[in-house]
Structure 1
Amino acid sequence: MNKKLFQILSICGACISFYIGAGFATMQEVLQYEASYGSRFFWVILVVAGIYIYTNLSFATNGSRLKIARGGDIFGIYCGVFGKKFGKIAAVFFDYFSAFFCYMSFVVMCGGANATCTQQWGLPSGVGAIVLTALVVGTVILGLEGIVKTLGKVGPIIIAMILIVSIYTAITGIPNYSSNVQAVDAGVYSSVMAQVGNGNPLLSGASYGGFVILWFAAFLAEIGSKNNLKNVNLGMLLSVLFIFGAASVCCVALIGHINVTAAADIPALVLAGQISPILAQIFAIIICAGIYTSAVPLLWTGVRKVSNEGTKKYRIITIAGGVIGCIVACFIPYKGLINVLYGMNGYLGFVLIFFMLVYDAKTKMSRKVKC
């Protein structure tokens, strides 16, 4: 495999890994944001995909064009479009909030791993969080290049397993799909199935898209700065096919078996269990892998805000941040953190998009994108 193709596939895998966290791997996000809209789920996916493509092209392109030294510097670029004084204040806010949010999201991932291991395998509380923390800290210490290489290999495995389960169960659910779609559209399962967007698929897509913006901002901006821009953008665009293609198949599978997935905490395990109890156990491991692949860049983003890679300070803060996050996750329920932090992030994500649109229009980013 030549170097160019390897880099494209590695970046594609890293984007997939970052995007597919616990929520996607369990299919709970897919159920709430997309499948809950029945025949209109494709509108949600189109909106999310559009936001994902535009924002990530912008992050990578501007990061490359301006050769930013640290991913978080991208906020100063966008916010500066409204004047030096306002831009500086807004940039500092976004930079610190993004780093804080990503770190707290890492804590949430530790809580998710802890809960999954306790509920699925009956392990003592704390074991899941400790194992995840050890793996994440060890990977983050490798730095951005090591992270991309590691996630680039794990991401495709996760998406492949999700596709295997969702394609099989989508096929077995086809006989009931039409009647189930009608039932979902009629609100038959609304009492047991949570739905984002208050019945509006466009709002649901906007909320979902806005949620991941601050996750990817610093990550892709720095990747764009340190790698060939064309390869970065091609890798990111390739990830779109896998991520949203998988989401579409998952929706069909979930709706095809909506009688058992609507009220499930982990719909993916319900679907996997219909194929084989052994596969359900394997898929539980895949869910943990999904948590790991999101937790790594989240911790990296928080640590990178206060230290430079390769330094003693970077290693100490990475270890300390991992340990503190693990302890917090073991003693504080993570569901509350999800509701507050993720909701706030979605709103602020759209404020950032406004800055991005104005900046990119003024600098004519479309002429600089390389694909």
Structure 2
Amino acid sequence: MGKTTRRKKTHLFSTERSSVLRVLTYGGAIMAFLIGSGFATGQEIMQYYASYGFWGLFGTGLIVLALISFVSVQFLTVGRRHQFEKPSQIFEYYAGKYVGKFFDYFSILFVFLSFTVMVAGAGAVFDEHYNLPSWVGGFGLTILVAITVLFGLNSLVDVIGKIGPIIVVVAIGLGVVGILNAETGLLAGHNMVGDLDVQQASNHWIVAGLSYVGFCMLWLAAFLTALGKTVPTHREARAGGIVGGVIFSLACIVVGMGLLANIDRVAGMQIPMLVLAGDIAPFVASLISLMILAGIYTTAIPLLWTVSSRFFPDGTQKYKVLTIVLALLGTVVGLWLPFDEMVNIVYVLNGYVGAVLLGIMIVVTIWRASTKRRKAEGEPTKAATSSSSEAR
């Protein structure tokens, strides 16, 4: 009995009573999880969107909008329908026992490495904006995240689901301000980006878009599958996935436009978003730096939780010990390389593996849907044939 109680002690649920508020909270949780250090700082948007000019903004943007919405809906609805004992079973559901195991273990490694990127991002903010050693930001984030994951909140989803949309709205505002205040402008930025030393996620914007969706879905898989178990209705699961995926993707495009319009000034910066904020006023840049840290925090929590809860039930002593060990190890690794290099190495390489899983998901989903339709269409025919035979 004690074990069962512990297994059910999860923070992945919403206490909202209204269906509309629950949908917005689920969508907000998706946004909060995907924001992280890459989006909040602008570094991720630079490498995956702005660095390719208009092709990156609108080509990559549309790829991400369609596919992130698809995978979010799939993970939530499948998690709700099948009520897996372990969220990691989602990989076996799509890829089979053996290939699914590979994606399961690979995703755990990637999620942990993504936590190290959050640490690197916090360190970069403290270094570039506050002129403090990066280890201050790295260890500060680790302590806050570890405490949250160890002792929990009444509802993790409700908390990050509220913070996520706020950060997205502010980021969109910065993107719009960046476009309006730009001395060069979007067209000039598109024309000059090829001549600047801007780090890119891939040699082509299509590959970059698939890689971006790939690493995002490896983040979301276990988290949304676990969350899906608690969603009351199929409609809410679908709506939450669409809301989160669409709004996040549109925010990426708008922020990318703001960065591209100022590409001559943000190229090479660790925290491009602070350049846009500084154009408004120095105190705004300080406020945005806090927003960036909040975005990193909301992503780092479920990342660390995903790894720890994969091995031990949430709240047990072993879970707590593993959380502390992983937090410390992640801090050491995260402070080892510069932030932009961490984003380029960890996200891009793992994104390619995630893109393979994406392809499998699409094929399996289409195949199962067509099989279900054929069975539904075939059953009346069989029944009619049977009745005809009996009549004879």
Name the TM-score class by shorter chain. Answer: 0.7 to 0.9
Distance, in Å, in 1 between the alignment partners of 2:362 and 2:156 is: 29
Picking from 246, 254, 259, the partner of 1:254 is 259
Picking from 134, 140, 147, the partner of 2:149 is 140
| 1:310/1:366 CA distance change after superposition, 3 Å | farther
1:264 Cα deviation (Å)?
A: 2.8
Structure 1 contact 170–250 (Cα < 8 Å) conserved: no
| 1:188/1:344 CA distance change after superposition, 3 Å | closer
The residue type equivalent to 2:185 in the other structure is Y
Matched, 1:52 2:57: no
| 1:307/1:143 CA distance change after superposition, 3 Å | farther
Structure 1 contact 223–232 (Cα < 8 Å) conserved: no
1:272-287 pair list within 5 angstroms: 272-287=277-292
Structure 2 contact 150–320 (Cα < 8 Å) conserved: yes
Structure 2 residue aligned with 1:209: 213
Structure 2 residue aligned with 1:195: 200
Structure 1 residue aligned with 2:117: 108
Picking from 94, 113, 122, the partner of 1:78 is 94
Structure 1 residue aligned with 2:369: 364
Matched, 1:264 2:273: no
The residue type equivalent to 1:25 in the other structure is A
Structure 2 contact 73–240 (Cα < 8 Å) conserved: no
Which SS does the other structure have where 1:126 is aligned?
helix
The residue type equivalent to 1:258 in the other structure is I
Structure 2 contact 222–306 (Cα < 8 Å) conserved: yes
Structure 2 residue aligned with 1:180: 188
Instruction: Among all aligned residue pairs of Structure 1 and Structure 2, give the percentage whose two residues are the same amino acid.
Output: 35
Structure 1 residue aligned with 2:12: none
Residues 2-59 of structure 1, C-alpha deviations (whole Å, 9 max, x = no match)? 4322221221111111111111112122122112232322111001111101112221
Matched, 1:349 2:354: yes
Matched, 1:244 2:249: yes
- Root-mean-square deviation (CA, aligned residues, Å) is 2.5
Is there any run of 5+ residues in structure 1 with no aligned partner, and where? 81-87
Structure 1 contact 13–153 (Cα < 8 Å) conserved: yes
Q: Judge which range, 341-350 or 296-305, deviates more.
A: 341-350
Picking from 66, 72, 75, the partner of 2:82 is 66
1:142 Cα deviation (Å)?
A: 5.1
Distance, in Å, in 1 between the alignment partners of 2:63 and 2:279 is: 31
Structure 1 residue aligned with 2:236: 231
| 1:266/1:341 CA distance change after superposition, 3 Å | closer
Which SS does the other structure have where 1:192 is aligned?
coil
Distance, in Å, in 2 between the alignment partners of 1:103 and 1:15 is: 18
1:365 Cα deviation (Å)?
A: 8.7
1:337 Cα deviation (Å)?
A: 4.6
1:125 Cα deviation (Å)?
A: 4.2
The residue type equivalent to 1:193 in the other structure is V
Of structures 1 and 2, the larger Rg is shown by 2
Q: Judge which range, 65-74 or 28-37, deviates more.
A: 28-37
Distance, in Å, in 1 between the alignment partners of 2:162 and 2:323 is: 22
1:137 Cα deviation (Å)?
A: 1.6
Q: Judge which range, 140-149 or 261-270, deviates more.
A: 140-149
Structure 1 contact 177–252 (Cα < 8 Å) conserved: no
Residues 222-262 of structure 1, C-alpha deviations (whole Å, 9 max, x = no match)? 11122223223212211234212222222222232223123
Which 4+ runs in 1 deviate beyond 6 A?
Answer: 365-368
Matched, 1:22 2:37: yes
Q: Judge which range, 31-40 or 56-65, deviates more.
A: 31-40
Structure 2 residue aligned with 1:309: 314
Residues 92-124 of structure 1, C-alpha deviations (whole Å, 9 max, x = no match)? 211111112111211221122123213321224
The residue type equivalent to 2:179 in the other structure is A
Which SS does the other structure have where 1:20 is aligned?
helix
TM-score when normalising by structure 1: 0.87
Picking from 293, 296, 299, the partner of 2:298 is 293
| 1:143/1:190 CA distance change after superposition, 3 Å | farther
The residue type equivalent to 1:20 in the other structure is I
Structure 1 contact 31–254 (Cα < 8 Å) conserved: yes
| 1:9/1:94 CA distance change after superposition, 3 Å | same
| 1:178/1:310 CA distance change after superposition, 3 Å | closer
| 1:269/1:350 CA distance change after superposition, 3 Å | same
TM-score when normalising by structure 2: 0.83
